[in-house]
Amino acid sequence: MAPAPNPGPVPTIAATGPGSVGIWRLLAVATPQLAALALMLQTETDFGSRSCFLLSWGILNGSFIALLRRPALSGALSLTLVVLLVLLSRLKHDIVQMTANFVDLMVIDRDTAAFLFTIFPNLRWSVIAAAVLILPLMVALWRLDPFRIRRLPALACLLACLAALVGYAFAWPDEAWRGYYDDGYLSKFARSGVTAVSDFINYGFMESDVTADAHLKVPLLDSCHPRGVRPNIIMIHDESSFDIRAAGGIKVPQGYGGHFKSFDGRERSFLAESNGGPSWFTEYNVLAGLSSRSFGRFAYFVTRIASGRVERGLPLSLRRCGYDTISLYPAFGAFMSARSFQVTTGIQHFYDAHDLGARDVEPDSFFYDKAVGLMAQEPPHTPWFMFVYLAANHFPWETKFRPDLMPSWRGPGNEPVVDEYLRRQAMSADDYRAFLAGLKRRFPAEPFLIVRYGDHQPEFSPHVLDPELGEAGVGKKLENYDPRYYATYYAIDAINFEPVESPTRMDTIDGPYLPLVIQEAAGIPLDPSFAEQKDIMLRCKGMFYACKDGSEARRFNRLLIDAGLIQGL
């Protein structure tokens, strides 16, 4: 019997027509592309952001096609990543009022995952359920995808889209304030990737000089010998508090303003490095004694980056002088790596919301009562430093916080948000007065130095400071660090102790100088790093990063790096 003729090679499915492939298989390829288009129209608001979305989509698709050659599966994987980014961005915005940034990937750590799984206990099961649903779908698409695309054209498309995105991001960099808007998730993430990688290549996470003109002599742990009594030191983080009389036309209740005055009757200004939300910028300032602005585009992640790397600060300096160091924190310790960061700067005993038994947001009196209880447990004749982090004046002000408190309060007649803000400030002032009275009653012979500061202005402050400005105008003022948008207050009080006179007690200081002011007021001998910073403070008249366009801060950072107090940045 004659052999059957050889039919030749079987043509690939890619060479067959739509009829033989099947319309449903074509839909498997087209559906992710159409879904991405719909997502772009819903989340991106202008031509520029939509262009970035399309370029990013091209990069994702090109990457997966170059790896897998299957357009349906590549589109589905790309869409999964984009949807995941949108969901995470919205989740992050709900928590910290800022969308996801490429730096989130660069500094991802266990603390972040632990925080998410703590506040969303069902998240772990949601992730598992999503994996169970998605993985079989991906396997099906792998088998059913009728097309095969060559890797070289896919790689060329990827590189072309990447080059266009890089060029666009450098020509029109995204303004930092846009990160606070709940939109443009993929476009902002992609553009931040270009600028973050560029900044990291140029100067790493933190700006510093290449070489230093001097060196710091790192002291021994027992090299502190203060003259006179060492007072117990309490530093109070007064959430979102500033003297709202800086805005014209605001009606305030009788007696407003006394809370901002020090023991000597003077009101002093504290220049924070954030406005409206990120308290951890100021947390970095007052514990490390350094500027978050030195981190440039990475500043939003300053405590996460500094954790385990910046081993310099007020608590460490006080421990050198025999102090026990304690922190009361109103959120979970994994939030922005707060626990890890504070331990790095010298906090020995860190109590977060779980440790303290806090339920949601608590009034200031809750944390003051906890502080007094912890003070009573401290060993006698051992001075201590306590960082009390308040939260009652946190946004939102559209709703009334604890209506059962101050039931006799009557708003002075401003817009509801402002009147609620003033009510919470009045609550804070009352709780602080009660705290002082309790200290005098509970510890009648103990010396105390108490320093309070406003960590930043509330998020509505630009609206009342410059009501005629639109969002773009406000954004420019924030970018340019207009001091009107960053000025809060700092105040010094004392019980059974006379604060030491010092030229550092200026009417206006940058946030990073507060640890220096505290040590000087307490009569604590300065270690070489704070002695050097004092010289900077005096010659720059209370300015730090703003002095000489950041050159003083960059020089100081290099001194700390060379001394081994900053590592890996």
Mean pLDDT of 196-225: 81
**Helix, strand, or coil here: 508?**
strand
Q: What is the pLDDT of residue 20?
A: 47
Q: Where are the alpha helices (DSSP H) in 253-403?
A: 279-288, 302-306, 314-320, 338-344, 353-356, 364-377
Contacts of 556 (CB under 8 A, 6+ apart): 290, 532, 533, 536
Under the banding of pLDDT at 50, 70 and 90, the label for residue 19 is very low
The answer to whether 353 and 329 have CB atoms below 8 angstroms apart is yes
pLDDT at 240 exceeding the cut of 50: yes
Residue 199 pLDDT exceeds 90: no
* 212 occurs within a structural domain: no
DSSP result, 272-287: -S--SS-HHHHHHHHH
- In this structure, the answer to whether residues 184 and 282 fall within a common structural domain is no
Return the closest-CA partner of residue 553 out of 528, 569, 531, 532: 532
Asked, for residue 216, whether it belongs to a domain, the answer is: no
Looking at the chain, the whole-number percentage of residues with pLDDT higher than 70 is 88
Q: Give the total number of structural domains in the chain.
A: 2
**Rounded percentage of the chain residues whose pLDDT exceeds 90:** 56
pLDDT at 212: 86
Query: Of 155, 184, 203, which one is at a domain's C-terminal end?
Result: 203
When pLDDT is averaged across residues 2-6 and rounded to a whole number, the result is 47
pLDDT at position 214 over 60: yes
37 and 79 in contact (C-beta within 8 Å)? Answer: no
511 and 384 together in one domain: yes
Nearest 10 degrees: Cα torsion 466, 467, 471, 473: -40
The domain of 110 spans 15-203
Could you tell me if 196 and 267 lie in one domain? no
Residues 318 and 390 in one domain: yes
Query: How does residue 141 score in pLDDT terms, banded at 50, 70 and 90?
Result: low
Verify that 310 and 175 share a domain, yes or no: no
For 77-96, give one letter per residue: b (16+ CB within 10 A) or e.
bbbbebeebbebbbbbbeeb
One domain for residues 130 and 260 = no
8 A C-beta contact, residue 313 and residue 346: yes
- CATH number, domain containing residue 512: 3.40.720.10
Angle formed by the axes of helices 47-68 and 151-171, nearest 10°: 150
What's the angle, vertex CA 198, arms to CA 197 and CA 201, rounded to 5?
85
> CA 69 from chain center: how many Å?
40
How confident is residue 11, by pLDDT bands cut at 50, 70 and 90? very low
Residues in the chain: 569
Least confident of 50-54, 93-97, 100-104: 93-97
Could you give the CA distance from residue 301 to residue 294 in angstroms, rounded to a whole number?
Answer: 12
> Is 222 part of a structural domain of the chain?
no
d(CA 179, CA 472): 13
Average pLDDT over residues 112-125: 57
Structure tokens at 116: 């998410």
Amino acid letter at 309?
A: R
- The least confident of 17-21, 26-30, 430-434, 466-470 is 17-21
Q: Is the dihedral of CA 368, 450, 388, 485 positive or negative?
A: positive
The C-alpha atoms of residue 108 and residue 544 are separated, in whole angstroms, by: 29
Average pLDDT over residues 478-503: 95
Of 149, 168, 135, 158, which is closest to residue 57 (Cα–Cα)?
Answer: 158
Same domain, 261 and 192: no
Q: Which tokens in the block code for residue 101?
A: 């940034």
214 within domain boundaries: no
Least confident interval from 136-145, 153-162, 340-349:
136-145
Same domain, 196 and 239: no
In a shared domain, residues 185 and 112: yes
Return d(Cα 233, Cα 318) in angstroms, integer.
10
pLDDT in tens, 497-554: 999 999 999 999 999 999 999 999 999 999 999 999 999 999 999 999 999 999 999 9
Do residue 189 and residue 257 come from a single domain?
A: no
Please indicate, yes or no, if residue 209 is contained in any of the structural domains.
Answer: no
Could you tell me if 167 and 298 lie in one domain? no
Residue 241, phi-psi category: left (phi > 0), alpha (psi -120 to 50), beta (remainder) = beta
Residues 163 and 35 in one domain: yes
CA–CA dist 488, 276 (Å, integer): 12
Q: Residue 210 domain-assigned?
A: no
Segment among 176-185, 448-457, 539-548, 559-568 with least mean pLDDT = 176-185
SS (H, E, C) 443-487: CCCCCEEEEEEECCCCCCHHHHHCCCCCHHHHHHHHHCCCHHHHE
Residue 448 tokens read as 């105390």
Instruction: Look at residue 434 and tell me if it is in a domain.
Output: yes
Residue 83 lies in a domain: yes
